[in-house]
Amino acid sequence: MEIKKHIEHIVVQAYQCDRYGYLRPIMLMNFLQGAAEAHAEELGAGRAYCTSHGFAWVVTHNMVDIIELPRSKNEITLITWPSKHDGLRAYRDFEIRGADNRLLVRATSQWVLINLETRRLLRLNDSLENWGSVDERAWDIEFNKPPKFDADKTHEIKCRYDDIDVNQHINNAVYAVWATESVGFEFRNTHQLTGIEIYFEHEISPTTPQVAVNVKLEPAVSYHKIMTGDSQHATVVCHWKSN
């Protein structure tokens, strides 16, 4: 089966942007996630097919390099494609380009397929029909283990009802919000996000009342552990530049 790239044309709306007119991190992550889901459905490997067979896609890594944040009223093109896979892991890449075709954002992600009942990993070729990829990378980097660090402070966050997605756990894009909010207003107001790495470990239940974000803040990078009690659910690394 020949795999073609999925392409979406988007006009960035003001409500999707921050106080300075730049695309919010949660909207950026939602754009990527939404395009991935739409393309998976087109390829016959999306939510409908997976649910009917008792399994689901789970993202393990998200790596996003922000060259230039889209702004309100910008016309952008979002492109995504499955870039490679092995027995257990699938890789999906992304590009966001401006109206003049300049590259604004590049990203890559790693996914696994799990049995919904046993939560065990499934082999891709055994579970999916017409599985394939496009032999091209938007960002050819390795997915390493998350960095270790000692936190300087802890930021407490309430889990909101609207943070829960149709998979009945906290939506993946929310982790980016928790990380970028935990640096504090003054830092966030004087810096712009240039990259984000998310290393997922465990889902967060919708009944979890509160999340702790343990933070180490440096001038151009911030490190975040997403915790509930003694359980670590994700590590997030944010890259920044001064406004």
Q: pLDDT for 119-173, tens place per residue?
A: 899 999 888 876 789 999 999 998 989 999 999 999 999 888 888 888 778 888 9
pLDDT value of position 197: 98
Is the same domain home to 52 and 91? yes
1, part of any domain: no
Is the same domain home to 113 and 21? yes
Give percent above pLDDT 70 in the chain: 99
Q: Which long-range contacts (CB under 8 A, 24 or more apart) does 35-41 make?
A: 35/6, 35/8, 35/78, 35/80, 35/94, 36/80, 36/92, 36/94, 36/109, 38/6, 38/8, 39/6, 39/80, 39/81, 39/82
11, part of any domain: yes
**For residue 236, what is the domain's CATH number?**
3.10.129.10
pLDDT value of position 130: 67
Q: How far apart are the first and last CA of the chain?
A: 46
pLDDT value of position 129: 78
Rounded to whole angstroms, the Cα distance separating 134 from 228 reads 38
Is the same domain home to 92 and 198? no
139, part of any domain: no
Is the same domain home to 106 and 205? no
For the chain, how many structural domains are there in total? 2
Contact status, residue 115 vs residue 57, Cβ threshold 8 Å: no
pLDDT value of position 203: 86
Is the same domain home to 185 and 83? no
89, part of any domain: yes
64, part of any domain: yes
pLDDT value of position 239: 98
Is the same domain home to 111 and 184? no
Burial of 21 (0-12, 13-18, 19+ CB in 10 A): middle
CA distance readout (Å), 106 to 12, 84, 96, 97: 17, 16, 6, 9
Contact status, residue 234 vs residue 199, Cβ threshold 8 Å: yes
What tokens appear for 24 in the block? 């919010």
142, part of any domain: no
Residue at a domain's end among 88, 112, 127: 127
* CA angle at 191 for the pair 236 and 104, rounded to the nearest 5°: 75
52, part of any domain: yes
Position 206 pLDDT exceeds 80: no
What tokens appear for 169 in the block? 């756990």
77, part of any domain: yes
pLDDT value of position 1: 67
Is the same domain home to 58 and 22? yes
Using alpha carbons, select from 107, 33, 22, 15 the residue that is nearest to residue 70. Answer: 22
Contact status, residue 208 vs residue 61, Cβ threshold 8 Å: no
The residue range of the domain holding 238 is 153-242
Is the same domain home to 84 and 170? no
